[in-house]
């Protein structure tokens, strides 16, 4: 694949975070996506979230499938581990890597084609198993890379650039994630960085399966009148449930909000999500209410965004399987090979 490396030089006085890195240290190669593609804004939001959270780049593993969206890990976190899988297979590779080494932060980046079409089985099982990860779908309703076919998330009745009407019912990734037991479920919009950055930060701090559906318009094939994934449509129909302020556990909470508008949820790692409620009746800790809310908004042609569901006490795959905490590459021969006496004992139980 051809790519353009970014010049390494930068201004010597750029601000450094608490682990000594500038924002530039979280960037990747120069993007080759179309100018204005929503995916580039998501890359910028990931860079900002990781820099502000003092994430050490070498502690991150970014994985993706195939598509314009799945190319984006090349454009952020250039000093992190990366694995570009085949189409739709990112979740199983991420699951395997996570089982081998739980100490890394797993960031899965995918598209609506990659996750909702060819990879739907993989998507479903990674969420169902509670893999501790941040799973982002950059959702534009089309296969951008292969020139604009409808994907499985395209709304019924929406019109392609060439005027074809989509007759198939859409697959709702948020509804699925809620039903499958994901413990952090959010929807963002690539055109709203103020909402997206804290949503990503909250997902990084979350110790379970975190899923973020980000509506990310494809300016080349799905940004026209009749598309429900265009910048204009999403701006007009965006129904924001809440606004998050992410407060890491090290920071003191200083800002006050009027009573009644605020919901504070502490996560397992001590970080606090301060939710300014824009819909007074909405409580993101209630999974069934979240399902109803999203479907009710959808029926009105609105796009519900914000933190839609959060379980503050999540359990992940390692807890379900009671696995060993030490990464496989740090287990010595003594742990891996308990000796012939232990093997004889196991064999005896099978006779």
Binding site for ligand SF4 (CB under 6 A): 33-34, 37, 39, 68, 140, 144-145, 218-221
Query: Stretches 89-97, 126-134, 136-144, 165-173: which one binds Mg ion (CB under 5 A)?
Result: 136-144
HSE, side-chain direction, 13 A CA sphere, residue 272? 14
In the complex, the smallest distance separating the C-beta of residue 139 from Mg ion, rounded to whole angstroms, is 7
Q: 69 or 267: whose CB is closer to ligand TPP?
A: 69
Binders of ligand TPP in range 83-102 (CB under 6 A): 87
Binding to Mg ion by CB under 5 A, coded x per residue (else -) over 224-263, reads ----------------------------------------
Length of the chain: 351
- Kindly provide the b/e burial profile for residues 327-345, where b requires at least 16 CB atoms within 10 angstroms of the residue's own CB: eeeeeeeeeeeeeeeeeee
Of the residues 57, 108, 144, 202, which one makes contact with ligand TPP according to CB under 6 A: 144
CB of 68 to ligand SF4, least distance (A): 3
Q: Give the nearest distance from C-beta 60 to ligand TPP in angstroms.
A: 21
- Least Cβ distance, residue 190 to ligand SF4 (angstroms): 10
The site that binds Mg ion (CB under 5 A) totals a number of residues, namely 4
Please name the helix (run of DSSP H) or strand (run of DSSP E) that holds residue 348, with its range, or none: helix 340-350
Residue in 47, 55, 60, 68 binding ligand TPP, rule: CB under 6 A: 68
DSSP 251-319: SPP-----TTSEEEEE-TTS-EEEEEESSTT--TT-HHHHHHHHHHHHHTT-EEEEEEEE-SS---HHH
> Nearest 5°: CA angle at 262, between 195 and 188?
20
Which residue's entry shows tokens 């300014």?
276
- Name the site residues for Mg ion (rule: CB under 5 A): 111-113, 140
């Amino acid at each position: 694949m051809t790519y353009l490396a970014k010049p390494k030089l930068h201004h010597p006085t750029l601000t450094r975070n608490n682990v000594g890195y500038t924002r530039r240290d979280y960037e990747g190669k120069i993007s080759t996506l179309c100018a204005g593609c929503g995916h580039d804004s998501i890359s910028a939001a990931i860079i900002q979230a990781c820099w502000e959270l003092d994430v050490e780049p070498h502690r991150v593993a970014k994985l993706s499938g195939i598509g314009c969206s799945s190319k984006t890990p090349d454009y952020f976190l250039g000093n992190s581990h990366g694995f570009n899988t085949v189409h739709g297979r990112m979740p199983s590779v991420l699951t395997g890597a996570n089982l081998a080494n739980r100490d890394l932060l797993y960031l899965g980046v995918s598209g609506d084609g990659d996750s909702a079409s060819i990879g739907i089985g993989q998507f479903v099982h990674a969420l169902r198993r509670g893999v501790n990860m941040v799973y982002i779908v950059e959702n534009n309703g089309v296969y951008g890379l292969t020139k604009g076919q409808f994907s499985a998330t395209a709304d019924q009745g929406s019109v392609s650039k060439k005027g074809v009407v989509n007759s198939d019912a859409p697959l709702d990734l948020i509804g699925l994630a809620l039903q499958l037991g994901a413990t952090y479920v959010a929807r963002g919009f690539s055109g709203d960085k103020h909402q997206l950055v804290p949503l990503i930060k909250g997902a990084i701090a979350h110790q379970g399966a975190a899923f973020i559906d980000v509506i990310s318009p494809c300016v080349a094939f799905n940004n026209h009148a009749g598309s429900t994934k265009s910048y204009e449509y999403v701006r007009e129909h965006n129904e924001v449930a809440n606004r998050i302020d992410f407060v890491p556990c090290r920071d003191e909470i200083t800002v006050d909000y009027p009573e009644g508008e605020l919901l504070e949820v502490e996560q397992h790692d001590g970080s606090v999500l301060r939710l300014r409620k824009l819909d007074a009746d909405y409580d993101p800790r209630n999974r069934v209410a979240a399902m109803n809310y999203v479907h009710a908004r959808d029926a009105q042609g609105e796009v519900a965004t914000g933190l839609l569901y959060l379980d503050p006490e999540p359990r992940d795959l390692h807890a379900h399987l009671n696995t060993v905490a030490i990464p496989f590459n740090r287990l010595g021969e003594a742990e891996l090979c308990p000796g012939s006496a232990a093997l004889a004992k196991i064999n005896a139980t099978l006779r």
